[in-house]
Structure 1
């Protein structure tokens, strides 16, 4: 493994074709491309992923249909009405800007969202415990087919997430199934986001999504054709991540950076819908290990020249701290 070489200041986000991973040699070549991307930007596009284009088109149709519902109908399934924080989040509900670790002083983001986690019956043990992302999803009565679609999409993203984890394991000189046991009951959030055009009366530094890193493991992002996503490179410059038809944008969260002892980057990114003049829609899927999984440095990531940077913790303990910073409280723990 080419460990701890200084990351380059990338000027563009690399594109990786997963279809090349048809055999062991192809998988290793793709894994090395992922290794370089995770070192240099923590972001990369993927094509050849196998997710049906029709499913993605339907996903954005449902996103628009949901956000077009009357405000009072969306508020009827506000995320605070779910014990697992699933449901609707209105504009101004989240503060993400954390590049100076002063998120509480930053203005709220200019976006509205819908969250859903793993669909579980109310009598499932983890649903009974009210563990975030497990059960207690809320669905709008006005869109009767929405629930089934989101469950199908969640399953599709889990399958793609597992494929990416196998390649990430290979990129770290680990067996392809190394992450498998940590994701046997994964924490996954399917989120829909609508960014309205940037208003003229926005507060200073108030944009669609303030500069932030993601919290968890792997993010699989579908974005519409509008654009507006920007990523900060190693020199501190913001580079655009424009939409590429048929692709997903992949990035690593803070948990994966912690898991790799800082070898892989969880990079700052932001959204500015200040050019299009119309709404922007995006659909991130946040894929993380089971909440009670113990996260410690992967084998080979601690060396004499690169000592331990993070103490071991559970995935829940890590995410709870991130949740406190953004919302002021933590979700219920696994017990």
Structure 2
């Protein structure tokens, strides 16, 4: 890591061993490595993470059958059926930075009921904290579309177990991040748990967040389709991301501190971890969100499968509120280091319209899936967020 801090780009991402957290003689080493990785690189691998191999393989083994289903099956689960942007989107139907991504995917999430209330039919009735469920961003929250059990036997159960294992890992990992940066452990529990008892628990309770998982297939390039699997971007779908890369097909690339692309190939038994725009904005850059992309597989390659888990935050939370939980000693780290960088991709959070995570998430989904946005939210709303 020292080479990166001295301005020399690393040729590979750091790999952290989470088993060190359970060893008092090595826990401090892990925390120092984690601090350096998040401050300097923004991407890392974790191994010995505690997610059972069986939980992973039970879901991974069903991906080929899921994606090999016919067009009628995929149409029955289309995102166009869902105001929550959950379901299937076909090859080149999602957009990143105005360009089509050469992949197909199933978007799923924490299984939660609808809470949104149509203002035409309801007055604001309130819920947890007497919040107004007529706000449009609450319409993002809702249940999954599931394939029938006889179509993909065991899929739903495999997904739910994977989701729960990654959710638990994400909460445990956030505690390590808090400790690594000197933030009181449990500070962020208030955002994730309905009844927080963390060190900084407040009287207000948030709606438990809806985490999202993508099941992604990148077909090999053809003469007609060549380009980005996913264009260069910083994650905006959640607080942090855990990516499982299936098999050996490469494609993920990450920008180093000197602006060069470095490979992040699959490494057996690991997850790739990175943080989103919201975490970078809330910490004033102490935790770095890093630009990354996925190149479409070569025409001679096998399809590439991956499973990113995006840890969600409450939709009615704001970046300004999160900042109040983070000590000034953390928020000034980037400024005091002299390593000030261009954070244009989080500049939207400096705009009061997008300080609300619900508003920024609705904007993100409509911009990524315009057709779905226009169907469920109308042309006027879609045009507003597409500006």
Q: Report the TM-score range of the alignment, normalised by the length of the smaller protein.
A: 0.7 to 0.9
1:256 paired to 2:279: yes
Distance 1:255 1:159, change over 3 A: same
Provide the TM-score with structure 2 as the length reference. 0.75
Larger Rg: 2
Deviations 1:131-190 (A, max 9, x none): 466432001121242112211111111000001110111122112211111112123101
1:221 to 232, 243, 263: 243
Q: Please name the residue that 1:150 is paired with.
A: 159
* CA apart distance, 1:314: 2.7
* CA apart distance, 1:31: 2.3
* CA apart distance, 1:289: 1.5
* Number of aligned positions between the proteins: 318
Does the 8 Å contact 2:233/2:291 carry over to 1? yes
Does the 8 Å contact 2:21/2:30 carry over to 1? yes
Task: Give the 5 Å matches for 1:97-112.
Answer: 103-104=97-98, 106=99, 108-112=100-104
Deviates more, 1:285-294 or 1:270-279: 270-279
Does the 8 Å contact 1:39/1:265 carry over to 2? yes
Does the 8 Å contact 1:227/1:273 carry over to 2? no
| Rounded Cα–Cα distance in structure 2 between residues aligned with 1:7 and 1:182 | 36
| Rounded Cα–Cα distance in structure 1 between residues aligned with 2:334 and 2:37 | 22
The residue matched to 1:57 in structure 2 has which SS? helix
* CA apart distance, 1:195: 0.3
Deviates more, 1:64-73 or 1:130-139: 130-139
* CA apart distance, 1:53: 0.8
1:239 to 262, 266, 284: 262
1:299 paired to 2:327: yes
Q: Please name the residue that 1:286 is paired with.
A: 310
Distance 1:179 1:21, change over 3 A: same
The residue matched to 2:228 in structure 1 has which SS? coil
Q: Please name the residue that 1:269 is paired with.
A: 292
| Rounded Cα–Cα distance in structure 1 between residues aligned with 2:152 and 2:333 | 57
| Rounded Cα–Cα distance in structure 2 between residues aligned with 1:325 and 1:123 | 23
The two structures, once aligned, show a CA RMSD in angstroms of 2.9
Larger fraction in helix: 2
Q: Please name the residue that 1:209 is paired with.
A: 230
Q: Please name the residue that 1:167 is paired with.
A: 176
| Rounded Cα–Cα distance in structure 2 between residues aligned with 1:212 and 1:233 | 14
Task: Give the 5 Å matches for 1:1-335.
Answer: 9-22=9-22, 26-96=26-96, 103-104=97-98, 106=99, 108-121=100-113, 131=138, 134-141=141-148, 142-184=151-193, 185-202=208-225, 206-215=227-236, 216-224=238-246, 225-275=248-298, 277-296=301-320, 297=323, 298-300=326-328, 301-303=330-332, 306=335, 311=350, 313-328=355-370, 329=373
Name stretches of at least 5 consecutive residues in structure 1 with no aligned partner. Answer: 97-102
